[in-house]
Structure 1
Amino acid sequence: MDHRKKLLHTARMPIRWGDMDAYGHVNNTVYFRYMEQARVEWLEQEQVVVRPGGDGPVIINTACTFLRPMTYPGTVEVRTYVGAVGRSSCQTYVDLLVDGELYAEGSAKVVWMDTRTGKSVPLPDHVRAALEAE
């Protein structure tokens, strides 16, 4: 693991039959849903309330490198890490594992935004404290 990354959250979710595509493996779009669900669980853990008309996290870019195809049945373990933390944003990284084996690596840049203005705002103090805690 990159020494600049810190583990924030680990989520486990079932690979569903409907996650697979005509090729018989999990469709590439579903990997992003796994990462999204893990990110939502982490935000809920930090008591972040996402609501229209307030400040909250938005994703400005995301990526995934598919290393091995996942198939049903199984359980995917999604490990979310934080890297660089800025004034209003943080870079996150994700490992997707099945049975302890790495199947994909992802990332997303999370920016805190005032949804009324569309402008970035500073990370909430309690979120920054969680991101920067040793």
Structure 2
Amino acid sequence: VAAYKQSPDANLPPQRMWNNTGRGYPDVAALGGLKNPYCVNVGGTFEGVAGTSASCPVVAGIFAKLNGLRLAKGMSPLGFLNPFIYKNPSGFQDVTSGTNSAGGESGFTAVKGWDAATGFGTPDFKALSGLVMGIQALEETTLVV
């Protein structure tokens, strides 16, 4: 977090818009967008959905599947995820461009590594399954959320 705040590429928004002390956020990101990147079945009709109301359940589903893999092999669930996430940034696809500004408001800039726009990036199920299960799990897993 400190390296991000000192990076000239971060192009931080005005200090009045964010808290300079304490924990950095977000930890991770997922496709949210405004153009309905996800399709859901609502009463027999498929509709597009977007935003955090769509991306948060995707991330939760990925970690639920990872816990399912662990439980199926007699391993304990992951529990509180932050220590795992911060020790395993290789389990995420780094987002290195773009911002999280909206409606003309200042936002944070995505840069290499952790940033205040996308955290460590988007979950990579194949990489994460390898990290939580061991390298042999990479060939055995398929994600269906």
**TM-score normalised according to structure 1 size:** 0.29
Query: Is the helix fraction higher in 1 or 2?
Result: 2
- Structure with higher Rg: it is 2
**TM-score normalised according to structure 2 size:** 0.28
